[in-house]
Amino acid sequence: MAEYLYLPCMIRTAVQQDLPQIVAIHNQAILQPFQTADMDLLTVKDRVEWFELHKPEQYPVLVFETDGEIRGWLSISPYRPGRRALRSCVEISFYVDQHFQRKGIGVALVEQACIVCKNMGYHSAFAIILDKNTPSIALMEHCGFTRWAHLPDIADFDGKTCGQVYYGIHLP
């Protein structure tokens, strides 16, 4: 059974100063097999434009913080920007520090993101997950998301392939 965090913590909107910790957590996932489709380590400079596109009033980045340190983060991003018929649908991406996984941080971030998305007027949210990333799939199912699609064998990790699954939810 997972040991859950019961420390003073908060989920808040990320600020530019959080970017080094966000990038560090993302890079942890890149170094692990089949946790993200990214294969090259990122720098803070690489993510500045991405961060600036995530305006808090429309597409926020949320962070889970304990003891002044970011333990996980989640971004809410547009799906197929410019396609007006898809304007009420958003993609979420989430990453948890490898030393703090299986402690409820991912669940807390996803649940908060659903509240934020609903309050912002979005009707659907989904995550795109590598089909070999069973912990993230279990997290999505735990949070009430269902599998909407499977794209088999589309990700190629230098000769090792896997698919992607879309897990989504319609926000009430």
Query: What confidence tens digit (pLDDT) does each residue in 34-70 have?
Result: 999 999 999 999 999 999 999 999 999 999 999 899 9
What confidence score (pLDDT) does residue 9 get?
79
Rg (CA), the chain: 15
Mean residue pLDDT of the chain comes to: 94
**Strand-pair partners of 150:** 165
pLDDT attached to residue 93: 98
Q: What is the mean pLDDT of residues 71-88?
A: 96
pLDDT at 7: 56
Residue 94, pLDDT above cutoff 90: yes
